[in-house]
Structure 1
């Protein structure tokens, strides 16, 4: 082995070409055996490196998204609810132009009908399409922003969320109606308006949102911003959890 070849692993490490560093020898033997041209050999190495980086990016974005495990589109029973179908959800995933427009998706329905599952399945699909997503319960997110506001860091916290093109806020109806929580929730909505997208799930329809905001004018302003560019989905059906509980009792 000549000096240049001997130093190749070190140079590839310094260049952070991990996959090429692992594969160049094995692929070189294959190239010789199959009589590849130098260009084909280089192309195969580069392709492997790019595929590895894409897989690592996907895994990193899945971890940081905090999406609930297992809530993929393939596992959702659309026959159990009305108001949404598989083709509609696929379209939101396959044609994500709404994300570039800073548009929103609002999912309404009783507890247990699958709103979180649908929102999460859209999140998983968007991540696979290269779009960064963050999932959080509304209560946890508001508490985080409230803490940031107390530390005079709310603007920084809102800007930090901007790296996620889509923010999934789950169960907004469970936020306690306090001046502090109302304030940061409205500031979040206003901050992302026409800039970054939100997917919001709620067991309360708009006419009941006066329980979320202390001021009626703030309620109207928040709803106005959310629905200006939005897909609104009303999920109608019986609670999955209730049906599962009844089935368990029957089997017992």
Structure 2
């Protein structure tokens, strides 16, 4: 068997599937440009690494379930006040806060783009190699409550540890029952100083008594969240309302 026949079989055995279709065109280019064997090998390795990185990115994007199209690039920072564009981009591109398990808390009325900002940061973090998961706070709490009923809450919390950043959207819509507020507190306590949370809320801290079963739990949860946190306050008129008014005019 010739080398040309053997090489594709070897590449397949080594699970270098991208190179099966690329080694011959790259070899022709190498001969035409008089590359050394070392450069040819290096270029093949670079192709394989690029292919793996792209597959990893697509896999993590799919798993994150971020809202489609909500990127920082298309967020209108001029439509709201209280949000510093440079600060948001700094948080997205300089991820020291992720490594130390810090949180981002996004407050503001409905329709000011809190979810858009959280998702936009999430997309950038995935680009930089972090695992991210986006969920409505209410849905996640329901799932954790079910896990607790099945005596599997500890396992469910540990499964979330693979995500360095967990985005909880609309925490204000979590139902106030002792069971649900209890698992929400356990989630916050479990990730405290270990893994980051990005939380959006249309309720200020003063209103969080509605989320937890008692004041003591409310204070303990807030204390853990803000200990290492960046707090962003969106202010202004709902852009959804403004768009509706424009459409009616």
- What TM-score does the superposition give when structure 2 sets the normalisation length? 0.98
Matches within 5 A, 1:22-41: 22-41=21-40
Residue of structure 2 in register with 1:64 after alignment = 63
Matches within 5 A, 1:118-137: 118-137=117-136
2-side partners of 1:64 and 1:215: how far apart? 35
2-side partners of 1:55 and 1:249: how far apart? 44
How far residue 184 of structure 1 moved from its aligned partner, in angstroms, is 0.6
Aligned with 2:26: secondary structure?
helix
Please state if 1:76 is matched with 2:110: no
Residue of structure 1 in register with 2:167 after alignment = 168
Residue of structure 1 in register with 2:225 after alignment = 226
Matches within 5 A, 1:129-148: 129-148=128-147
Q: How many pairs does the alignment contain?
A: 249
Residue of structure 2 in register with 1:7 after alignment = 6
Residue of structure 2 in register with 1:242 after alignment = 241
How far residue 90 of structure 1 moved from its aligned partner, in angstroms, is 0.7
How far residue 3 of structure 1 moved from its aligned partner, in angstroms, is 2.9
How far residue 243 of structure 1 moved from its aligned partner, in angstroms, is 0.9
2-side partners of 1:53 and 1:204: how far apart? 42
2-side partners of 1:41 and 1:167: how far apart? 42
Residue of structure 1 in register with 2:198 after alignment = 199
2-side partners of 1:113 and 1:157: how far apart? 32
2-side partners of 1:130 and 1:107: how far apart? 23
1-side partners of 2:52 and 2:80: how far apart? 39
Residue of structure 2 in register with 1:47 after alignment = 46
How far residue 94 of structure 1 moved from its aligned partner, in angstroms, is 1.4
How far residue 231 of structure 1 moved from its aligned partner, in angstroms, is 0.2
2-side partners of 1:80 and 1:144: how far apart? 35
How far residue 31 of structure 1 moved from its aligned partner, in angstroms, is 0.9
Please state if 1:102 is matched with 2:116: no
Residue segments in structure 1 that go unaligned for 5+ positions in a row: none
2-side partners of 1:76 and 1:70: how far apart? 10
Residue segments in structure 2 that go unaligned for 5+ positions in a row: none
Deviates more, 1:48-57 or 1:16-25: 16-25
How far residue 5 of structure 1 moved from its aligned partner, in angstroms, is 3.1
- What TM-score does the superposition give when structure 1 sets the normalisation length? 0.97
The RMSD of aligned alpha carbons is 0.8
How far residue 59 of structure 1 moved from its aligned partner, in angstroms, is 0.6
How far residue 4 of structure 1 moved from its aligned partner, in angstroms, is 3.4
How far residue 230 of structure 1 moved from its aligned partner, in angstroms, is 0.1
Q: Summarize deviations over 1:153-202 as a string: whole Å, max 9, x none.
A: 11111000000000000000001100111011000000000000000000
How far residue 215 of structure 1 moved from its aligned partner, in angstroms, is 1.2
1-side partners of 2:157 and 2:122: how far apart? 20
Aligned with 1:40: secondary structure?
helix
